[in-house]
Each structure stands twice: as C-alpha cells, then as structure tokens.
Amino acid sequence: MTSDEKIKIAPFAPQTKAVVGFVLKKGKVLLGERIKSSVNLGVGLYSGIGGKIGDSPKNPNESPEEALIREFMEEVKIRPTKFYKLGQVTFIFKNKPQRSKWNHTAIVYLITGFMGNPTPTESIKPRWFDVTRLPINKMWPDNWYWVPLAIKKNQL
C-alpha cells in the first residue's frame, strides 16, 4: 500500500450526532428505504432507522436513547422497548464541507423488542429482510462492511 492509498482519518470530529437502529425478529432485520430527508441523505437507499440526536424542538437535549425511540416513532411508527448499544460509526463525506450534516457520528443499536407494526411514513418505507440476504446493492457502499457484523454477530 502506498502512502496515497492509506486510509485517511478526518482531521475533525463531525458536529452532527445521530442514532441508527436495527430491529431483529425471527431471523429478519427491519430496514427502511429513505423516501425523504432534510438534507437528501440516503434518499432511495435502504438503511437502519434513525436520525439526529436533539433534532426535536420539544426536546433539544434528548439522550441518544430518547432520540432512538423518537426516530422510530416518527419514521416507522413503532416504539423500541428492548435495545442495546453496539458501538458507534463515523461517516465522512469527502465531497461535502466539513461542517455538513452529512458528516456525522452515529450510535448503533440492536433492537430486539418493540410495540406496534412498522408502517410507512413520508420519510421511510420499512421492509423486513432475511439477515443473510441484505439488499447490499441498494445500501450505502460502506454497509457491506459493518452492517452484517452488527446484525449477525452483534458487534462493530
């Protein structure tokens, strides 16, 4: 590997903090196809469900767990009841300004209990996938590396 090929670490920490959750149920994972986003982030792609922490005018100082529950209620109309933190990932988009909301750090959760039925909203169309058959070709390119570890091996 040449010095030009080395992975570069961002010289800054993203200001935007977010959460993303993966609901597991009987060998399936709930992903959401992004229909609408405040900054067009991920429109047309499948991903875990989530969003920015402190994004609610009603609770700008919410905890990550409160943000996780709020985002699931807003985006797919279910309430996570049993979940745990797996870790966090940082996303840097080199073609976006450093302070862009596209650059963010997300806390990743696995959800094993919830109330309600996943329901489409104007932002997300939820869909269950077998954990061994993820729609990788319709997900962010980096998802190939870390999402299977998160949902199959419960690690990041």
Per-residue pLDDT tens over the stretch 102-118: 666 789 999 999 999 99
pTM listed for this prediction: 0.83
Rounded-to-integer distance, Cα 7 and Cα 40, Å: 26
Choose among 100, 128, 116: nearest CA to 24.
128
Q: Quick: pLDDT tens for 115-128.
A: 999 999 999 999 99
| Angle of CA points 120, 124, 130, to nearest 5° | 85
Asked if the 16-152 domain carries CATH number 3.90.1150.10, the reply is no
Give domain limits for the chain. Answer: 16-152
Q: How confident is the model at residue 100, as a pLDDT?
A: 56
Partners of 35 in beta bridges: none
Contact 106, 97 (CB under 8 A): no
- Kindly state the DSSP code that residue 137 receives in the 8-state scheme: G
Considering just the CA atoms, what is the radius of gyration of the chain in Å?
15
